[in-house]
Structure 1
């Protein structure tokens, strides 16, 4: 006898992925086990912290809102409509839900039991890939172009870039696994697991893995009396053990665990069971890896109570950057997310200083400048900033400035402890020169722009690359307004900036050899920052100011925008954008390898291909400088 409700469910499911990859018979089997849930408006389907359900859900009608709670405030971050899937967490993680699902209107939801659906996931690659991408990228439908990139994250960054990084994120796992022989007595293995606080022991023969004994095996086979505790490991081990290669991504590990329905993966030298054991990945390792995604790091920053806490988070960010570079995530994506987390760390450092000192006596803005102002700070380099406080009466000025200098000293000290060393040029808010009122800052910019080179105080160009990290956006907007008002048609200013941008010609000698340092501790090394990146940074800054392009500080994005507003030279600008990313990647890799700023590169360690790739980046540098010379009627020696 036909089930009309199940037939209606089949007719519905077949229109939406991943169900449209299944045949009628498979859909009928699933539909017969589906529970139909009616939710009144405001009814909660599941909530943050709740244990995962044994089903996942698809919206049949109505709308389900997804929300997170941060600082006691509930924030709606997305809405699931007809055909959207939610609640996939139980497929891939055993920890609790990280968001709340609540009906925004009267809704009907189909609850699909995971144990019923799982066999079709394991046997159908299209279904597997859909669910994996959905969970790893936090999207409800990875193939929905309209909503692509609208992440259901758990905090602040809802961007497509986060999906890429999280999807390819590597896993930190135990690289010193405990092993035993097949003849080992189970009692000894159980004692070993208790002493070492571990949940598994790999059984090896001739150093190769042949099985695994887990705490689940002890419960189901020993505790139930099926085997004596004096039996050997060979009798109760799970065999064969699932082996995987080193440097496995989070997404790949999820696939293996789902496919083989296991809680542990054995890492071997070549990924097979015919090579030595190198580590063990547990389900808990996946949970920890998911906790290191950008949204979670932002939340951790907001909860940090000390420089030590912030330092630990910055170390996690460094790991995320290194993994992302290794996995070939686009560097522009990594820069964007790194910039957001760096800004959050700065903001929290200021928060902590204010908590110690009390409320500020006036409104203010803390602006990051230099690489962080451009959201290009991937490595732990120096901190550059300035502070602007609103105008106050003359009799209050000294006390107000004194408060902000003390605030800045506390903040920069905290950031030093995190790992951001002070600017060697003194460009920090704790320097009394760079902590002053809005009116004083307007005078400062007026002098830089209208009388460049006429005083002993030359233009500090990094002060034109800024981003607010804390405080009143209206103050930042006032600075921006005065800058663009003064630079418009200002030939003297652009002559000065243009000549400054030409100070570093392309870094190749007459015979196309690299220009390296000739003396000092970096002798024979190539200064990629000064000789290659700085010319592009200077050119991008000059041209966006000349084109009146506001609000874009990142060098890569500046050239992308220039390609739009000046189509005659779009190819050159796009080449500059790509060259900047390539050079930045060289520097980042060097810095991560040597745990430094990556400024100086040993060319002898580069492959011939990399040297060619590096030289190719110098072509757009030469061409953009030629354009600057032509546009502003300059020479290298003006």
Structure 2
């Protein structure tokens, strides 16, 4: 699959006979040419595989043909010149439901989804023709697979926007605008100029920009000095999660929904987060009412279905991990509750009465669990705990580990569990142990333990014990920053699994023959490097994506670096999690190994670029910590 740039004059000549673009003016055609790319395919080359992640746009066929093939190898349709490939996936933001294969030599135009939305919003002729083609395609696939429509969960913002909107003209006095806000009990007003959106006035702007300077401006000041003109404007068809992503990327509280530049609705950051939060509750509510380990085991075994649905409903796969983790944690906490009740019935002792903290470590603490988390837990005992109380908690811990294992959370192969004396200690003993790791990380598996222990969170119990231990970790590393260099140098043992000739380096033998483990070669490196920065700068964020954003806000990492690393991390998470879901559906073992040869050319190239970015991130960060420019 080869990409090539677009010359506008040649482009006009190329698309003049393509019906869907016929009635677009030069301005809109120019917007297509500026954002699109030509894609050249050879005979039999795969454009996209069934179940492959969405390419974030649509393919318009310029020359040649594309066959759409179902799972059984049956040809559902052959698209010729002017045909659109990837339509249904664009509409649902789902994975591809068929495989697209080139017939002979084919040339396609890849049009990004943001451009498609622009065309839908600004050209009634394009919108009408586009949706007629969509309906035909949906009808075709629904006849073949009635479950297809279930994937259309990527809802448009028009379903959730607040309307009608309250608007004001740009030249009204600020005191009048304030009264309108107060009487309508709203935190923002859409500002218009001849009925078209020109900006937004927020209560926050009045508090931070007007009130401190009220004496200078006076109460008759016009609102034009306090209006944010750089606003997020989207059509009502635009997906909700895309609106949130755009608002967060531009640090905006509100999005304005428009039609032909006229406001028809508004939505806030808080509104969207509330909607997404309610989605999490849907998945966890039934877990909290489970009364047996068998019910929880069933929830664990079916978690891949939740993950599958979430991926189809999300802009980025990495955004799904905190929700999957929330479901995992809900299951584990219910296991803890049942175990506590069983232990009380047997011994008459409520372990919650003993001062301690049960901690979760690694991916669980970071809210980055996929479908294969094992147990990473430990106890922090109060320094004044008695031997009797410690014995009680250890007995309880043994039962908890067995129950978690029964439900599906396998025992940690590195023995990072409450049943290990090294993972169940008093606060004082924990501090001593961590100091030993920092002072001599190469002994006793220090690197491995620190990569797990240094990401910890309270699972239940006394938060104060965890907070104090975290603060100690910050302080001890500040005293010996060379530890971070030693830690990252250990990661360099995992060389890039791509050869100089661009071939993937895979396992040569064993059960994972011809596969590549993306945990040590990609995921762990991003996590470790990002953690190193946060430890060095004493930043409290646990989630890797949140850490990257925090480092960007603090100007510790550049916008460019964070953008590239976030994108690389997203690619790896997307490939791994989709592969896990695929394995779970087949009843196969779920892990972080993938067969690179099973990926389409598109995903192979994505993965190679991501691995290259991750290797550079590690090497550049080592230079940073060593004091090199």
Q: State the aligned residue count.
A: 373
1:368 is paired with a residue of what secondary structure? strand
Structure 2 partner of 1:437 = 426
2:456 aligned residue (456, 466, 489): 466
Match of 1:391 in 2: 383
Q: Distance in 1 between matches of 2:444 and 2:568?
A: 35
Alignment of 1:598-637 (within 5 A): 598-633=591-626
- 1:552-573 Cα offsets, whole Å, 9 max, x none, are 1222222222222235633112
Change (3 A) 1:386 1:142: farther
- Contact 2:296–2:331 (Cα < 8 Å) also in 1: yes
* Residues in 2 aligned to 1:391 and 1:348: alpha-carbon distance in whole angstroms: 28
C-alpha deviations, 1:260-279, integer Å up to 9, x for none?
xxxxxxxxxxxxxxxxxxxx
- Aligned residues of 2:506 and 2:516 also touching (Cα < 8 A): yes
Cα distance in 2 between the residues matched to 1:454 and 1:472? 31
CA deviation map 1:19-78 (0-9, x unaligned): xxxxxxxxxxxxxxxxxxxxxxxxxxxxxxxxxxxxxxx99xxxxxxxxxxxxxxxxxxx
Q: Which residue of 2 aligns with 1:344?
A: 330
In 2, Cα distance between equivalents of 1:455 and 1:380: 26
The answer to whether the Cα contact below 8 Å between 1:366 and 1:471 also exists between their aligned partners in 2 is yes
Q: RMSD of aligned C-alpha atoms? A: 3.4
* Distance in 2 between residues matched to 1:309 and 1:619, nearest whole Å: 43
- Report if aligned partners of 2:307, 2:320 keep a CA contact under 8 Å in 1: yes
Q: 1:584 aligns to what?
A: 573
Corresponding residue of 1:477: 467
Q: 1:547 aligns with which of 516, 533, 537?
A: 537
Report the secondary structure of 1:467's partner residue. strand
Per-residue deviation, residues 518-559 of structure 1 (Å, max 9, x unmatched): 22221221111122222212211112111221x312222222
Q: Which residue of 1 is the match for residue 415 of structure 2?
A: 426
Deviation at 1:517, TM superposition (A): 1.2
Structure with higher Rg: it is 1
**Cα separation, 1, equivalents of 2:573 and 2:445:** 33
Q: Is the 2:382–2:426 Cα contact (8 Å) retained in structure 1?
A: yes
Aligned counterpart for 2:510 among listed residues 479, 496, 520: 520
> Per the alignment, do residues 569 and 489 of structure 1 end up closer, same or farther by CA in structure 2, a change over 3 Å counting?
farther
Deviation, 1:589, is 0.8
> How many angstroms does 1:159 deviate by?
4.0
* Alpha-carbon shift at residue 391 of structure 1 (Å): 1.7
- Say if 2:379 is the partner of 1:379: no
Tell me the residue number matched to 2:356: 364
1:274-325 alpha-carbon deviations (Å, 9 max, x no partner): xxxxxxxxxxxxxxxxxxx421332222222121122233345431211222
Cα displacement (A) at 1:332: 3.3
1:63 match: none
In the alignment, the residues of structure 1 paired with residue 520 and residue 444 of structure 2 have an alpha-carbon distance, to the nearest angstrom, of 25
Q: 1:133 to 1:423 in 2, by over 3 A?
A: closer
Aligned residue for 2:335, secondary structure, equals helix
CA distance in 2, matches of 1:458, 1:498: 9
Contact 2:381 2:427 in 1 (8 A): yes
Q: Name the SS of the counterpart of 1:511 in structure 2.
A: coil
Residue 593 (1) aligns with residue 582 (2): yes
Q: Please report how far the alpha carbon of residue 629 of structure 1 lies from its aligned counterpart in structure 2 after TM superposition.
A: 2.6
Query: How much does 1:585 deviate?
Result: 1.1
- Provide the rounded CA distance (Å) in 2 between the counterparts of 1:443 and 1:314: 37
Change (3 A) 1:142 1:440: farther
Deviates more, 1:483-492 or 1:311-320: 311-320
1:294 corresponds to: 280
SS of residue paired to 1:470 = strand
Return the alpha-carbon distance in structure 2 between the equivalents of residues 585 and 329 of structure 1: 11
Report deviation, 1:515: 1.5
Q: Distance in 2 between matches of 1:564 and 1:577?
A: 14
Question: Structure 1 length normalisation: TM-score?
Answer: 0.53
Could you tell me which of 575, 579, 582 is aligned with 2:564? 575
Between the aligned partners of 1:352 and 1:611, the Cα distance in structure 2 is: 45
Deviation at 1:590, TM superposition (A): 0.9
Contact 2:357 2:458 (8 Å CA) reproduced: yes
CA distance in 2, matches of 1:315, 1:456: 32
Distance 1:311 1:456 in 2: 32
Match 2:395 to one of 379, 402, 406 = 406
The offset of 1:82, in angstroms, is 6.2
What residue number does 1:161 align with?
A: 276
| Alignment map for 1:484-503 (pairs within 5 Å) | 484-503=474-493
After TM superposition, give the deviation of residue 485 of structure 1 in Å: 1.0
Instruction: Measure, in 2, the Cα distance between the counterparts of 1:380 and 1:502.
Output: 25
Aligned partners of 2:474 and 2:536 also within 8 Å: no
Q: TM-score, normalised by structure 2?
A: 0.54
Residue 409 of structure 2 aligns to a residue whose secondary structure is coil
What do the CA deviations read for 1:486-543 (whole angstroms, capped 9, x no partner)? 1114133123212123222322112222121122221221111122222212211112
